[in-house]
Amino acid sequence: MTVGQEIVRKFADYPAFSYHDVLTYLHGRHATKQLSRTISYLKSRGRIFTLRKGVYTVREDSAVSGFGFSPFYYGLLYALTIRELWTQNAEPEIITLKKVRRSRITLFGRKDMHASLHHSQPKHFFGFEILSHGGMKVPVSDPEKTLIDLFYYNIRLPIQSYGPLLLLVNKKKVMSYLERYDNHTRMTVINFITKYKPVAKSLESPY
């Protein structure tokens, strides 16, 4: 078995792995320059893919994209898609503590696969849980944080599309979350919930 084959087999079940992970695994059995060439070869053959500089994956699956920007969670429309509250196929929306230079990236070098990146302040990095998606466990914003993030990142939906989400939102929980936000965001979300949560069941279902 070649070193390249060994790398692919070792990390096949990982959503993502770094150059440092490979170095640690090989325990010096492959010189740094040789390893760089091996990784370049594996990328050229489509055996591994770059998520961001120095971070790779064996899976050509958009559901792993967030792992290139850990710590992260999936939010916004992608969170609604994962929770089956949104019927359209949303591209991954990655909320990350990392500084991001671009708001949208191309995945796996394919023009038909993209992900959106959103930087989060540490005080806003909370309100997510681990769910099964794409054959793996991924962090996804809970209903309350998803609603807040939609307003915070200025993403607006047709009013009828909020119905299923509002039915799941716990108002007391939202209020506790909003204590960490600025007054404008806080009042916007409170006014929206006050107006529309009581009539959430009457909003037209997206199904």
Cα(160)–Cα(206) distance, rounded to whole angstroms?
7
Provide the whole-model pTM. Answer: 0.92
Burial class (CB in 10 A: 0-12, 13-18, 19+), 57: buried
| CA dihedral (203, 127, 139, 94) positive or negative | positive
Structural contact between residues 49 and 56, judged by C-beta atoms closer than 8 angstroms: yes
Encode the chain (207 residues) as per-residue pLDDT tens digits. 788 999 999 999 999 999 999 988 887 666 667 888 999 999 999 999 999 999 999 999 999 999 999 999 999 999 999 999 988 888 999 999 999 888 999 999 888 899 999 999 999 999 999 999 988 999 999 999 999 999 999 999 999 999 999 999 999 999 999 999 999 999 999 999 999 999 998 886 544
Domains of the chain: 3-57 (1.10.10), 62-202 (3.30.460)
DSSP secondary structure of 36-53: HHHHHHHHHTTSSEEEET
Helix (H) or strand (E) holding 56: strand 55-57
Burial class (CB in 10 A: 0-12, 13-18, 19+), 26: middle
> How confident is the model over 13-33, as pLDDT tens digits?
999 999 999 988 887 666 667
